[in-house]
Chains A and B, each alone.
Chain A
Amino acid sequence: MPTPDYDPKEVAALQADQLASAVSAGRAAFAAAPDLEALAHEHTRHLGPRSPVALGRRELGALPPQARADAGRRVNDALTALQSAYDERRVELERDRDAHVLRDETVDVTLPWDRRPPGARHPLTLVQERVADIFVAMGWEVAEGPEAEAEWLNFDALNIPPHHPTREEQDTLWIDPPTAGLCMRTHTSPVQLRALLERGAPCYVVVPGRVYRNDPLDATHSPVFHQLEGIAVDEGLTMGDLRGTLDLLATAMFGPDVRTRLRPDHFPFTEPSAEVDLLCWVCHGTSTDPGAPACRTCGSEGWIEWGGCGMVHPVVLMSAGLDPDHFSGFAFGMGLERTLMPLHDMADIRDLVEGDVRVSLTLGVEG
């Protein structure tokens, strides 16, 4: 039964056959859309606010209640059908597009990328920092001193009088004029004195630094090399403390399996004095056996000389104004090149001094 504001022109859109043809037209259009862009366009045409079905729905309010319910159901069915046809096609096209992205935008990720050459720090710098950190963790501090040093600090105060053979053996580089009392420090030991003079006791410091000897450069000698010095002065320090400290350092540098050996040696600034050796970690000392194959790491000596050490000589303590009856101390000094070279199986010290980028780039890493 018609209502007073019945509008036959508008209502036509709500008729079943009209809706059915709108749905089938939409379905066909969605199915035919070649890509997502076309589908979006068809979505506007068939599901957008001005699509036939949307326009029909706008007319629902004008229908009498019963007719409205029927027409409403038909419109909803049509919308649902169109929407699902659209969704289906969109999923299809998206899958298609994703497949295209992978196919068309694929790159060769194995192409090398070395646009910026990398930088690196020198392995000797890193080993100095590493050792410093080990000692700092134990409460020690890091001390420093000048490379051009007072003769008094490099020799006299360390109980090396002018005639002492050690002074000549070390082949000092003297600063001109020789009477100026200045030399390139032959060891980091003058910093022992500096630390004691400055801090008094107790004093626990390590000193990494460059030192100089008048040796021409060859595969195993360099006139400039690096040492790590340590000195501890306190009440009641012993050679056992020295040994324990060296063991700790050796373990930190060379791993838990390293074995150390102290053997008597002579240094004017320590008494008793010792040389600390490391058992060769390549041949474990077996290269000294008769007929055994040679070992490059230790030169078939079984042990690798690591550094000198001992109990601080009373003259040194007194030169720093400390009473040797009250304080005792130990000191040690090792060559850092000597530490690095066997560790990395390096045969030629020149590789460390020439500044070839390959050395720092290879070894200047936290391995």
Chain B
Amino acid sequence: MRVPMSWLHDYVDLQTTDPRQVAGRLTEAGLKVERVEETGADISGVVVAQVLAVEELSGFKKPIRWVTLTDGSSEHQVICGATNFDVGDTVAYARPPAVLPGGFRVDKRPAYGHDSDGMICSARELALGDDHTGILVLGKGDQPDLPLGADVVEVLGLRDTVLELSINPDRGYALSVRGIARELATAYGAPFRDPADLGDRAGGPAGDATAAAYDVRIDDRDGCDRYVARLVTDLDPDASSPRWLQRRLTLAGMRPISLAVDVTNHVMLELGQPLHAFDRAKLTGPIVVRRAVAGEHLRTLDDVDRALDPTDLLICDDSGPIALAGVMGGAATEIGAATTDVVLESAHFDPVSIAYTARRHRLGSEASRRFERGVDDALQPAAAAAAGRLLEQLGRATVAAAITDVDLRRPRPVITLDPSLPGRLAGVPYAEATVRARLHDVGCAVDSEPGDPLQVTPPSWRPDLRVPVDLVEEVVRLEGYARLPSTVPAAPAGRGLTRQQRQRRQVGRALSAAGFVEVLAYPFVAGSTAEALMLDPADPRRPSVRLANPVSAEEPFLRSTLLPGLLVALGRNVGRGFADTALFETGSVFRAAPPGAVMPHPPAGRRPADGVLAAMEAALPAQPLHVAVALAGHWERPGWWGPGRLAGWADAVEAARTSAGALGVALEVAAAEQSPWHPGRCARLSVAGTIVGHAGELHPRVVEAFDLPARSCAMELELAPLLAAAPEIVPAPIVSAYPPATLDVALVVPIEVPAATVETALRDGAGPLLESLRLFDLYTGDPVPSGHRSLAYNLRLRAPDRTLTADEAIAIRDSAVAAAASRCGAVLRT
């Protein structure tokens, strides 16, 4: 909402002249001023001048005039490209050295073979509107109404301050000069003159409610509870809006169109009541307000044929629908250049109905915006009268005394308010007198005996005030949020972070400490992601949750694995020159709820039954938390210290071990063939037999699909089973101070036996005195027979209570080797 200060000054007397202070007060009261715009201040040197002579220059591609002007004291000659003026007209003359909006300097300069002494301005060059089809003619020769040489900024009232407010959806009344002026008056304790109060102002057609201006019938009381119609006749079709009206509309952000339209817009901006003007000659039969019937159509003002929905509220006549009530008029009854008789509609529509219709037809308008937010339902007669008066004054029209007022309003509910409630919620006591005074400020009628709860009737322009806390906000905001105390409540003792929250932090810390950089990727993916990841048609990791209105049509699905986002981020970083990149992400993936699950929709304001809440949970998509890494380039860089090492499948597996290790969980690793990984370089990761994820080198086709460096690697784990498997209490290690016995064994093992199997056998065979087991060498080739490899282990043995003898150590080693021999066919290499 844009409102010029000059318009506000019509209805409230302010001592201050500082618009910034006014803006601050309005913001404090809840009407946020986003911008304070000074207009006219950047114009200088533009004066009223009269055209004395016009010489048409020839030989140019377009008509060019050499114009002689007088500013009352001297004559000037300028070049002008417009032709919409005659000798004797008064114009806005930028007399050097002049400045136009935007800091544009006008000096004497050569143009079209003449020395042009300044220029004649168009409306747009003065920021007076959009019109730049010709220059701004201030007065025709026969009616010079402005003093020559006068500053155009002064005589046109261009100097103004426009406040640009963002109005919250609950404050429909503030979408008007009336509402803002009322708030200002309250903020400054200044007197307020209600522009809707036309009684004391001469010239307004008061109206005769005993006669009908036009037949109106309301068939849908829920959609429309009040309809006022006035008949305006003999409107001069040639009458145009005066400059002050055009100027006001322009400053308020609306485009001047025609007198009748400008007048209705002016009334809407001033009072907040949207009006509609029908061409009387194009109406047939009485006006009826009703819902649409299936199959009905309406061609609206924007010349779009609209199929109507049975919930659309319509204005109709005998011909059928003639307007989408409160949203947009119809083309067939639109007023035009020849219109002389007008039926003015000033109605009150149901906000919900208007909101639905405006949304369904994507027809948000200044009118629908106001109806949706709630219009004063006492305003309709005054708004119609105000428009009628302006059309009489400016369009030489006649407004019939008869007034149609179909009034089906229901009585306004009374709110019972405990006068101590505002203070109790604010945390600062307010005297009952203060509460009453503040409610009175916003227009409420307060009725009660002293000591009783207050019986509060909100004013007609505040349909948002419905329950006691609504009134509390009014009291507190007018007393000032700035005056609230600052206290910190004492919460009962808490339990700290949950175990899972601590565990998740630990995983993130472990991965970042291991060299992975965290990213937070968008969860939106394309349907083709499944193919890019080479997922089978039956793979549960195929995206299964789709958005109805995705941000991007190319990515309508929610991710079902963290990998796509991570791989894209990996490619982006590599593309930006970070060839050695290791990324990780922790986040939710989405899997469709089981088919048949129905989301309940219980009423608000009451706790749903436990069964309903459970059904709600069951109908949600599963959203398990995953952790994943993706890496490419060097894991260890080459440098002056020597060669580097490229990231490989084992680094991805190590990332999985790091994540699980941070929780005290050991992962079981086994070979697997699982997309999107390389079939020979993929590790299946399990905890107590449950698969929790995979790690390894990515399949070359996946690498290609995501445009990644060759041999990029990745890992993804489901966190919930890992977190659950973490030991709640980790037993302390036995810290033996006796010296260890260390022994090395090299085993020759058939190549198809996984190292994990050999290791398990060694551990089992060695028994409890084995403190640690470490593979320190891997060898194939002579003299190891083909089809075999040599695995060299270091065994560290230690007893808690004694120093192991050499014989004991050797016996343990032999037992370990024997287990490896019997289970894996291992042969001790000598």
Contact = CB atoms under 8 A, between A and B. Distances in A.
A322 B558 CA distance: 35
Interface stretch (B421-429, B437-445, B734-742): B421-429
Contact of B548 (A115, A176, A234): A176
Given A140-B494, A177-B548, A114 B602 contact: no
A119 B601 contact: no
B582 A202 contact: no
Contacts of B582: 117, 119
A239 B514 contact: no
A228 interface: no
Contacts of B427: 238-241
A353 B522 contact: yes
B516 A247 contact: no
Chain B interface residue bracket vs A? 35 or more
A155 to B, nearest CB: 9
B433 interface: no
A261 B425 contact: no
A125 B600 CA distance: 34
Interface in B512-558: 512-524, 545-552, 556, 558
A145 B745 CA distance: 53
A240 B515 contact: no
A339 to B, nearest CB: 15
A314 B428 contact: no
Chain A interface residue bracket vs B? 35 or more
A293 interface: no
Nearest to A180: B599
A166 B169 contact: yes
Contacts of B60: none
Contact of A150 (B487, B588, B606, B619): B619
A116 B639 CA distance: 11
Contacts of A140: 491, 494
A34 interface: no
A281 to B, nearest CB: 19
A285 B490 CA distance: 33
A327 B530 CA distance: 50
Interface in B566-584: 568-569, 572-573, 576, 578, 580-584
Contacts of A114: 637, 639
Nearest to B509: A121
Contact of B602 (A111, A152, A245, A261): A152
Contacts of B514: 119
Contacts of B523: 147, 224
A263 B31 CA distance: 9
Contacts of B644: 115
Contacts of B495: 141
B580 A240 contact: no
Given A119-B513, A148-B620, A263-B32, A163 B508 contact: no
Contacts of A169: 169
B515 A214 contact: no
B511 interface: yes
B518 A237 contact: no
B714 to A, nearest CB: 14
B164 interface: no
Nearest to B580: A117
Interface string B347-359: 0000110011001
A243 B636 contact: no
A17 interface: no
A115 B641 contact: yes
A156 B641 contact: no
B607 A321 contact: yes
Contact of B601 (A117, A124, A181, A264): A181
Interface in A158-210: 159, 161, 163-166, 168-169, 173-178, 180-182, 184, 197, 202, 204, 210
B640 interface: yes
Interface string B577-617: 01011111001101000000001111111111000010010
Interface of A: 111-122, 124-125, 129, 132, 136, 138-142, 146-153, 156-157, 159, 161, 163-166, 168-169, 173-178, 180-182, 184, 197, 202, 204, 210, 214-217, 223-224, 232, 234, 236-241, 243-245, 247-248, 261-266, 271-275, 288, 311, 313-315, 318-321, 328, 352-357, 360-361, 364
List 3 tightest A-B contacts by C-beta distance, closest first. A264-B30, A240-B427, A238-B427
Given A148-B558, A241-B427, 5 more contacts: A146-B621, A148-B623, A244-B488, A264-B28, A353-B522
Interface of B: 20, 27-30, 32, 168-171, 351-352, 355-356, 359, 372-373, 424-428, 467, 469-470, 472-473, 476-477, 481-482, 484-498, 501, 505, 508-509, 511-524, 545-552, 556, 558, 565, 568-569, 572-573, 576, 578, 580-584, 587-588, 590, 599-608, 613, 616, 619-621, 623, 634-637, 639-641, 644
29 contacts: A112-B639, A114-B639, A119-B515, A121-B512, A138-B491, A147-B588, A147-B623, A150-B616, A156-B601, A165-B373, A175-B621, A176-B548, A182-B620, A197-B613, A217-B551, A232-B489, A232-B491, A240-B487, A241-B487, A244-B485, A248-B488, A262-B484, A266-B169, A272-B472, A274-B481, A288-B20, A311-B472, A354-B572, A355-B520
